[in-house]
């Protein structure tokens, strides 16, 4: 750890000798004795915040939908012959519908004797990306990580159809079964699922019959989806949730009404922190505004018998703030939460240290001159050094979070249920 801290000081100095260097363009932290007392640099100046945006999206989602909100997809099965069915997915814009969830559906349909499909159809609200809901580590897997599913734009019937058709739908089924067992979700050991044709069917053109059976497929609670989104910084999920909530105009109204934050404090274009092709800038916010949002995110969680560590990665335990980036040290491990941010406009880290009597909220923003691997590494080391100093300063009041890491699944063991009669979503 000492060697890492030393690197955090020396590497930026070395780069400075070369010419341009990174700058800590903004940082701030709240006083554990009084949240309203904020210290730092350029506290009230707006800067791009990269993927720390996902914490803002999380706050909006939890405030608007509640932590236990579930996306409801309806699966309709209509017999069309001996041991043959037409299957239709009536979507709910569930942003975490991937290979594992489809395998879960196949297993449940097999339990009902549904194994051979004549026509598999889906509507415009059904999204499917094969690798989306597989719990993976981008740092460990490096080039093997399915980054393509983190930057899908736009999603729609053409992309969904391509993903459904690109391989046999039971591919990697055993791997899904093994992984889901960690979440106490049991799949059949062996399944049959033969499909003759897959196609898009507009919702206005779909009808059920008196022999159709309908099944409700509910996602995991929203707070667990947000936790996974923040753990590995899933841009696709953040973008889709932001759109579902109403997009830029609705967010502007929400944040003004709830926290009295106007365009001089926060300006959002989308939910992930990426640059929007149709817009000239990234999401921006002041340091002070972000501290307020982090605090409110924590309070919203606590009001619903949760805590911020149920939504944001725990330092030293989860995702990109585990051992992969230099933000964890012997002082703060498992004693705070944080979200990383990486873009050409800013390298960022925002989160909370579990201090007493009140929690300490922090935000760091570095301008990465030249967006190269070396420059990004130097920026992270700069932030890591600052976080260590902050953690050391408040070490006497810092305590570990009551946190137990659990495996991610985008649904629960009881997420699939037959409805008493064929039904359609509103």
- 60 prior amide bond cis, ω within 30: no
- Residue 303, both tokens: 């009001």
Q: Are residues 99 and 247 in the same domain?
A: no
Residue 300 — left, alpha, or beta (φ > 0 → left; ψ -120 to 50 → alpha)?
alpha
62 belongs to a structural domain:
yes
Q: Are residues 154 and 87 in the same domain?
A: yes
Q: Are residues 50 and 80 in the same domain?
A: no
Domain boundary pick from 220, 255, 283: 220
d(CA 251, CA 257): 10
Whole-number pLDDT of residue 288: 98
Q: Are residues 166 and 296 in the same domain?
A: no
Closest CA to 417 of 90, 73, 91: 73
pLDDT digit string (tens) for 285-297?
999 999 999 999 9
What is the residue range of 18's domain?
Answer: 2-67+224-397
Whole-number pLDDT of residue 265: 98
- Cα–chain-centroid distance for residue 281? 22
Whole-number pLDDT of residue 10: 39
Q: Are residues 82 and 43 in the same domain?
A: no
The answer to whether residues 87 and 114 touch, using CB atoms and an 8 Å cutoff, is yes
409 belongs to a structural domain:
no
Q: Are residues 89 and 172 in the same domain?
A: yes
Closest CA to 74 of 53, 93, 54: 93
Q: Are residues 195 and 228 in the same domain?
A: no
CATH of the domain at 232: 3.40.710.10
419 belongs to a structural domain:
no
| E-assigned strand segments in 142-278 | 194-200, 213-218, 266-267
181 belongs to a structural domain:
yes
d(CA 109, CA 383): 50
Q: Are residues 30 and 61 in the same domain?
A: yes
Q: Are residues 379 and 237 in the same domain?
A: yes
Percent of the chain at pLDDT exceeding 90: 73
Q: How many CA atoms lie within 13 A of 6 on its CB side?
A: 3
Domain boundary pick from 220, 246, 268: 220
136 belongs to a structural domain:
yes
Total number of domains constituting the chain? 2
- The position carrying tokens 């560590």 is 309
Whole-number pLDDT of residue 426: 56
Q: Are residues 335 and 300 in the same domain?
A: yes
CATH of the domain at 147: 3.50.80.20
393 belongs to a structural domain:
yes
How much is the pTM?
0.92
Q: Are residues 211 and 233 in the same domain?
A: no
For each of the chain's 426 residues, which pLDDT tens digit applies? Answer: 334 333 333 333 333 333 357 789 999 999 999 999 999 999 999 999 999 999 999 999 999 999 999 999 999 999 998 899 999 999 999 999 999 999 999 999 999 999 999 999 999 999 999 888 888 887 778 777 777 778 877 889 999 999 999 878 999 999 999 999 999 999 999 999 999 999 999 999 999 989 999 999 999 999 999 999 999 899 999 999 999 999 999 999 999 999 999 999 999 999 999 887 766 679 999 999 999 999 999 999 999 999 999 999 999 888 777 766 788 777 888 999 999 999 988 999 999 999 999 999 999 999 887 788 888 888 999 999 999 999 999 999 999 999 998 999 999 999 999 998 766 555
β-bridge mates for residue 75, sequence order = 89, 215
d(CA 176, CA 173): 5
Q: Are residues 359 and 345 in the same domain?
A: yes
């Amino acid at each position: 750890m000492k060697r890492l801290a030393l690197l955090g000081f020396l590497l930026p100095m070395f780069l400075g000798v070369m010419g341009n260097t990174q700058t800590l363009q903004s940082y701030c932290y709240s006083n554990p004795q009084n949240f309203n007392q904020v210290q730092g640099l350029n506290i009230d100046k707006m800067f791009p915040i990269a993927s720390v945006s996902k914490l803002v999206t999380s706050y909006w989602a939890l405030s608007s939908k509640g932590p236990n909100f579930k996306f409801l997809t309806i699966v309709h099965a209509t017999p069309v012959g001996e041991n043959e069915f037409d299957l239709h997915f009536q979507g709910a814009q569930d942003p975490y519908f991937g290979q594992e969830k489809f395998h879960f559906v196949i297993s449940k349909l097999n339990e009902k004797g549904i194994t051979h499909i004549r026509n598999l159809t889906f509507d415009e609200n059904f999204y499917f990306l094969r690798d989306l809901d597989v719990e993976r580590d981008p740092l460990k897997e490096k080039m093997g990580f399915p980054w393509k599913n983190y930057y899908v734009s736009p999603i729609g019937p053409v992309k969904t159809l391509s993903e459904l058709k690109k391989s046999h739908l039971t591919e990697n089924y055993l791997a899904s079964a093994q992984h889901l067992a960690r979440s106490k979700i049991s799949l059949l050991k062996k399944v049959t699922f033969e499909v003759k044709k897959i196609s898009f069917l507009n919702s206005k053109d779909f009808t059920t019959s008196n022999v159709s059976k309908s099944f409700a497929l509910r996602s995991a609670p929203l707070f667990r989806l947000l936790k996974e989104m923040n753990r590995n910084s899933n841009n696709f999920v953040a973008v889709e949730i932001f759109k579902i909530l109403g997009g830029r105009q609705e967010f502007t109204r929400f944040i003004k009404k709830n926290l009295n934050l106007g365009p001089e404090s926060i300006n959002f274009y989308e939910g992930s922190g990426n640059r929007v092709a149709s817009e000239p800038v990234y999401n921006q916010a002041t340091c002070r505004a972000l501290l307020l949002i982090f605090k409110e995110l924590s309070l919203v969680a606590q009001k619903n018998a949760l805590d911020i560590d149920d939504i944001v990665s725990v330092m030293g335990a989860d995702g990109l703030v585990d051992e992969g980036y230099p933000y964890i040290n012997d002082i703060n491990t498992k004693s705070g939460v944080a979200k990383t941010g990486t873009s050409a406009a800013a390298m960022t880290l925002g989160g909370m240290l579990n201090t007493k009597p009140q929690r300490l909220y922090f935000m760091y923003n570095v301008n990465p001159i030249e967006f190269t691997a070396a420059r990004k590494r130097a920026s992270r080391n700069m932030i890591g050094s600052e976080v260590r100093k902050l953690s050391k300063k408040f070490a006497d009041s810092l305590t570990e979070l009551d946190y137990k890491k659990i495996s991610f699944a985008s649904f629960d063991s009881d997420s699939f249920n037959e409805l008493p009669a064929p039904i359609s979503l509103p």
